[in-house]
Amino acid sequence: MKQGAEILIDTLIEEGVDVIFGYQGGAVLPIFDLLYRTKELKVVLVRHEQAAAHAADGYARETGKVGVCLATSGPGATNLVTGIATAYMDSIPIVALTGQVPSTMIGNDAFQEADIVGITRPITKQNYLVKSVEDLGKIVKEAFYLARSGRPGPVLIDIPKDVSTGKCKSLRLGAVSIRSYNPTHKGHPLQIKKAAEAIAKAKRPVIYAGGGVILSNAADKLKELAEKTQIPVTNTLMGLGGFPGTHPLSLGMLGMHGTKYANFAISEADLLIAIGARFDDRITGKMDEFAKGATIIHIDIDPSEISKNIKCHIPIVGDVGQILEELNKIAEPPEISEWLSKIFAWKKGYPLTYKDDDQLRPQYVIEKIYELTNGEAIITTEVGQNQMWAAQYYKFDKPRRFLSSGGLGTMGYGFPAAIGAQVANPKATVFDIAGDGSIQMNIQELATCVQEKLPVKIAILNNQYLGMVRQWQELFYDKRYSHTDISVAPDFVKLAEAYGILGIRVEKKEEVTKAIKEAIAYKGPALLDFRIVREENVFPMVPAGAALTQMMDGIA
């Protein structure tokens, strides 16, 4: 006979889990009690359950494995919600485990009871309430299978206390098979052939690659396709690192804050090859104008993404990696030298720029972090201006180096995600590029870093504003800065010191290099408070709902 908690932990280990990000509570006491005695599983104790979900997500994005978080019933479970929704929007495989009040008390408004299965139904790929200890092992195995297969996503398992304390015979479970769930992996050969034909006769082709390339571990195959055909590649925010940012064929990011040359290329293209991307509104701008003259090839594992926002001409449903492998066998380079020279001229004529004066500007900070980490750091971001500057000025040559909440746009994501990434990769340099607003949403995790000895570096681009919203207010609301001034804030350096970590304030441009070097050299966690120009904007910018060619520019 085996106890429920034991079945849970044994199955987790079987599924390759080596760390759980969690927080204690009444309904999970039996599980934590067993974890106390389990050597194979490391537990990272966070200071707020939201951070547990984000850390599991950061761990998953960094490693490609399933991240696991654990929280108690009621408020513990509801605190996971933002993290689960974040993972859902970006198709990140995590398994969220929640304690629940004993089965007999469910529905009675018991202490710390919440219907977390009901609450998370629209933001999980699948979720389960375990009704008997006999089902537990099978459900856990299914959860991992669903989280990592097909289009990945979060799965939640709600475990009543009597299930984790209950006992049953230990069962040997075979491989998971779910009759109603059969994702397509192999692309249809005829569609792949059609795509190759379209490529061969294209005059102005562009590859538009998203997070699916990274999820499918297909960066090498994408590079092969681009190099073989010489077709330039633009990445979505989620796709950064899926194609080397320093590659001559790279157009950087497209969309609202994308490069001008990427947006020009999309707008003039006659063939758009969308790979693992979903035509999000931050990418397309005005839908009717997006890649108006282009034939669209769309490679995606999720059939519901095909023609969801933009009508697609050659859909190929399946795993990006497998499809690219087949496509690479038959793709022929089109005659596009004229197009390429136009693109290279755009790249030269419209580079990303900012005012390079003696003031402390955020873009300069990111460039220096890029330089001093040799472009090898794992960068996480919060959401807003910090995120866009990081995406624009740090060049990612490898996948799984840029972790950012793309779909949901979750402030407070970056720091706990950095914790998850650092746990996965203790020797790497991990930077959270933060804003002074976002960092305060999960700043309590400084204690987690100290306890776990995680040398995460935090770079706060501190403009004492909710900067991105202020930018919109400046541009579209006649500078009425309604409730975006957050200059009433703690002294971040003192705060760092209060937690026993290194804090450095940087007020001048010439101090930047020294401070970053010091933070990197420092063995423990470090917080850099960059007091940047207050009203710097992110440019280029396509106003919401405008066509991609209507880019605003800050440089006179």
Partner 1 sequence: MRHIISVLVENKFGVLARVAGLFSGRGYNIDSLCVAPTDDPTVSRMTIVTAGDEKIIEQIEKQLNKLVDTIKVTDLTHTTHVERELLLIKVRHKGKRSEIIEIADIFRAKIIDVAKDCVTLEMTGNEEKLEGLIDLLKSFEIVELIRTGKVAITRAEKT
Spatial contact of 24 and 47, defined as CB atoms under 8 Å apart: no
What string marks each residue from 118 to 137 as x (binds partner 1 by CB under 8 A) or -?
Answer: x--xx--xxx-x-x------
Among 108, 132, 170, 304, binds partner 1 (CB under 8 A): 304
Among 135, 227, 302, 511, binds partner 1 (CB under 8 A): 302
What string marks each residue from 479 to 518 as x (binds partner 1 by CB under 8 A) or -?
Answer: ----------------------------------------
Our CB check for partner 1 shows the closer of 127 and 322 to be: 127
**Of these residues, 40, 111, 338, 451, which one is catalytic?**
111
Residues in 151-210 that interact with partner 1 by CB under 8 A: 178-181
Does residue 141 carry a catalytic annotation?
no
> Smallest gap, in angstroms, from Cβ of residue 149 to partner 1?
11
Q: Which helix (H) or strand (E) holds 69?
A: strand 67-71
Instruction: Give the interface size with partner 1 as a residue count (CB under 8 A).
Output: 20
* DSSP 8-state class, residue 485: B
Our CB check for partner 1 shows the closer of 178 and 498 to be: 178
Among 228, 247, 292, 308, binds partner 1 (CB under 8 A): 308
Q: Applying CB under 8 A, which part among 62-70, 296-304, 407-415, 501-509 lies near partner 1? A: 296-304
Our CB check for partner 1 shows the closer of 32 and 290 to be: 290
* DSSP 8-state class, residue 552: B
Give the separation between CA 432 and CA 170, rounded to whole angstroms.
43
> Smallest gap, in angstroms, from Cβ of residue 426 to partner 1?
35
> Smallest gap, in angstroms, from Cβ of residue 125 to partner 1?
7
> Smallest gap, in angstroms, from Cβ of residue 60 to partner 1?
19
Spatial contact of 411 and 439, defined as CB atoms under 8 Å apart: no
Find the length of the chain. Answer: 556
Spatial contact of 153 and 88, defined as CB atoms under 8 Å apart: yes
Q: Give the distance, in angstroms, between the CA of residue 506 and the centroid of all CA atoms in the same chain.
A: 28
Element counts in the chain: helices (H) and strands (E): 22, 20
Our CB check for partner 1 shows the closer of 135 and 397 to be: 135
Burial class (CB in 10 A: 0-12, 13-18, 19+), 481: middle
Our CB check for partner 1 shows the closer of 130 and 320 to be: 130
Spatial contact of 504 and 516, defined as CB atoms under 8 Å apart: no
Does residue 112 carry a catalytic annotation?
yes
Does residue 161 carry a catalytic annotation?
yes
> Smallest gap, in angstroms, from Cβ of residue 130 to partner 1?
11
The 8 Å CB, 24+ separation contacts for 78-82 are 78/114, 78/116, 78/119, 79/48, 79/49, 79/50, 80/49, 80/50, 80/52, 80/53, 80/116, 80/156, 81/119, 81/120, 81/123, 82/50, 82/53, 82/408, 82/410, 82/412
Q: Give the distance, in angstroms, between the CA of residue 120 and the centroid of all CA atoms in the same chain.
A: 19
Residues in 30-49 that interact with partner 1 by CB under 8 A: none
**Of these residues, 253, 411, 468, 541, which one is catalytic?**
468
Our CB check for partner 1 shows the closer of 131 and 395 to be: 131
Our CB check for partner 1 shows the closer of 64 and 303 to be: 303
Strand boundaries in 123-237, DSSP class E: 126-129, 155-160, 167-168, 205-209, 233-235
> Smallest gap, in angstroms, from Cβ of residue 481 to partner 1?
34
**Of these residues, 2, 42, 105, 112, which one is catalytic?**
112
Our CB check for partner 1 shows the closer of 127 and 236 to be: 127
Q: Applying CB under 8 A, which part among 267-275, 304-312, 416-424, 426-434 lies near partner 1? A: 304-312
Cα radius of gyration rounded to whole Å, the chain:
24
Does residue 492 carry a catalytic annotation?
no
Residue 117 interacts with partner 1 (CB under 8 A): yes or no: yes
Torsion, Cα of 20, 22, 28, 31 (10° steps)? 20
Helix/strand/coil for 134: helix
> Smallest gap, in angstroms, from Cβ of residue 311 to partner 1?
9
Torsion, Cα of 274, 277, 280, 282 (10° steps)? -90
Q: How many CA atoms lie within 13 A of 372 on its CB side?
A: 19
Q: Applying CB under 8 A, which part among 42-50, 116-124, 230-238, 507-515 lies near partner 1? A: 116-124
Q: What is the DSSP string of 285-314?
A: SSGGGTTTT-EEEEEES-GGGTTSSS--SE
**Of these residues, 65, 125, 161, 221, which one is catalytic?**
161
Among 78, 103, 307, 328, binds partner 1 (CB under 8 A): 307
Catalytic center residues: 49, 111-112, 161, 468
* Interface with partner 1 (CB under 8 A): 117-118, 121-122, 125-127, 129, 131, 146, 178-181, 302-304, 306-308
